[in-house]
Amino acid sequence: RLSEIPQWSVLLLEAGGEEPFLADVPGFLGFTWGTRVDWRYEGVPGVICGGVPCPITRGKGLGGSSSINAMLYIRGNKMDYDYWARTGNTDWDFEHVLQYFKKSENNLDPDIRGDTEYHGVDGYLNVGRFPYQNEDVNHLVEALREIGYAEVDCNGKQQSGFMIAQATQKNSIRQSTNRAFLEPILKRRPNLKVVTNVRVTKILIHPQSVAAYGVEYVLEGNRHVAGSIFATKEVIVSGGAVNSPQLLMLSGVGPKEVLQPLGIPVMKDLKVGENLQDHASTPGVFFTREKHKTSQLSDILMDFLKYSEPKKEGLWASTGVNQLIAYINTKYANKSIDHPDVMGFFIHLNPKEGNEIDKVVFFPTVLRPKSRGKIIINSTDPFSSPLIYQNYFSELDDIKIHIDACNIAKQLAETSALKNAGYVLNTTFLPTENDFKTGKNPLWRDPEFSTLFSNFHLCGTCKMGPYSDRNAVVDPALRVHGVARLRVIDASVMPYIVSGNLNAPTVMIAEKGADIIKRHWRHL
């Protein structure tokens, strides 16, 4: 977007490289996690993780996490953004941000793209449902209907209900922000240069004027090769909820109580790294299908051949049961308004060798958790991972909502749709408040299950807010408080997590941020 101004010269520095082929295939979801395109962070072990590190997947490469995520296109709830505005973030209410959701979107679904009040059809980012839904999805859809939930467009007028989610894909090929925004224009914009495998290690800030004027970098493949690059207008940090606060702190922008013991000169004392939020869940209930015929290797190979055809079909053409989402209200939600407090999603676990039992795990996710974590650095080495304190379920209200949300699985189990298809609910390990306090639920100790499942929706660590907000790092124009010519534009600026996945909201923030910059320099 910034390179749309031909007089501007834009340089993008990316620590990773190109996105791999595996990432393109929806059915390979998760195969790239823990590889070279993942930062492979780990949280500081806590009680809820059973004393072991909790993995945090973050995309490393062009497209960032949009190149390895679940591709779900979910904007969140209108009331989320209205609350941002009410807390001092002028022009970040839903009415203002909707235009930026629409600006980036090219919706491909015939039954949705006609709703031009909520959807765009001219943007760079292709959005649409996967062409393939497996039988688990179809059975669960019928079960949700039986217990009274309606199928809705959760990105439209109403969020409460269920949806076979729209995804950032076209013809069952992933549409990362790299593929959607960069690739189509890169060769046609001589004023845009993209350099990969370069790690920015420090933002250069003049100590007298407290203004950013460039960055220092090293090559990922040869750390002995280093240099500096100088900006004539601004430095924009878009490293995400982990890397952005880490880079700011390494550059002297952050809590003085963190920086001073490390010998880092404090350029600006701000609450960088605080306010960490995420969507997290734990397995508590699951369905089994003892009579279900499991897929054989020959079936899987045939399905991959179907995916290789021009019209992509079969198992690999979607993310399976993961594409079904349900926005539900627990007994703690205000049912008089359309602001559900839980999103339920499902994961299919393939049976182990010699085991004929399939498992479909129900993961309820508390949408607006009160629990807060933080990120701090404990080293001046930019290649040393920061300390990530997730603090999931540290607030009792989050625990209560999660436990109550598990009860929807009991309702689903009583439907004829699931009974007739052979689904059996296992509630042996339904979590209790004590389980969360001790981390001793037996199911969470089973190596087949994660003790705790992060949705990888980290945000909030460079909180947006007015100058009067002592916890804010950037202002509503995304400028770092007290540091000239420096902005942060990514999910870390979210003051409060939104009710859904973060890919679409992060793209919106980037779209709006680009217009803010153009307006500042009088090009809009």
Most confident of 15-29, 419-433, 456-470: 456-470
Q: What topology does CATH give the domain 130-164+279-370+395-448?
A: Cholesterol Oxidase; domain 2 (3.30.410)
pTM of structure: 0.94
Cα Rg of the chain, angstroms:
23
Cβ-contact 276, 372 below 8 angstroms: yes
Q: If DSSP codes are grouped into helix, strand and coil, which group holds residue 247?
A: helix
pLDDT in tens, 224-256: 889 999 999 999 999 999 999 999 999 999 999
DSSP string, 373-393: BEEE---S-TTSPPEEE--TT
Give me the residues paired with residue 388 across strands. Answer: 375
| pLDDT value, residue 247 | 99
**Helix (H), strand (E) at residue 285:** strand 285-289
376 conformational bin, left if phi > 0, alpha if psi -120 to 50, beta if neither: beta
The C-alpha atoms of residue 329 and residue 338 are separated, in whole angstroms, by: 9
- With cut-offs at 50, 70 and 90, classify the pLDDT of residue 348: confident
- With cut-offs at 50, 70 and 90, classify the pLDDT of residue 221: confident
Distance of CA 307 to the CA centre of its chain: 26
Which has the closest alpha carbon to 358: 426, 294, 427?
294
The C-alpha atoms of residue 513 and residue 476 are separated, in whole angstroms, by: 10
Distance of CA 456 to the CA centre of its chain: 5
Cβ-contact 15, 60 below 8 angstroms: yes
Please state, rounded to an integer, the average pLDDT across all residues of the chain: 91
Give me the residues paired with residue 215 across strands. Answer: 203, 229
Cβ-contact 111, 128 below 8 angstroms: no
- Residue 200 in marked binding region: yes
Residue 380 token pair:
């001046």
Write down how long the chain is: 524
The C-alpha atoms of residue 157 and residue 145 are separated, in whole angstroms, by: 19
| pLDDT value, residue 357 | 54
Cβ-contact 78, 96 below 8 angstroms: no
Domain ranges for the chain, please list them: 130-164+279-370+395-448
The C-alpha atoms of residue 314 and residue 304 are separated, in whole angstroms, by: 8
pLDDT surpassing 90 at residue 469 = yes
Token match 């040393």: residue?
Answer: 384
| pLDDT value, residue 14 | 98
End-to-end CA distance of the chain: 12
Which residues are tagged catalytic? 457
Residue 172 token pair:
């069952």
Cβ-contact 385, 42 below 8 angstroms: yes
pLDDT surpassing 90 at residue 309 = no
Q: If DSSP codes are grouped into helix, strand and coil, which group holds residue 237?
A: strand
| pLDDT value, residue 359 | 84
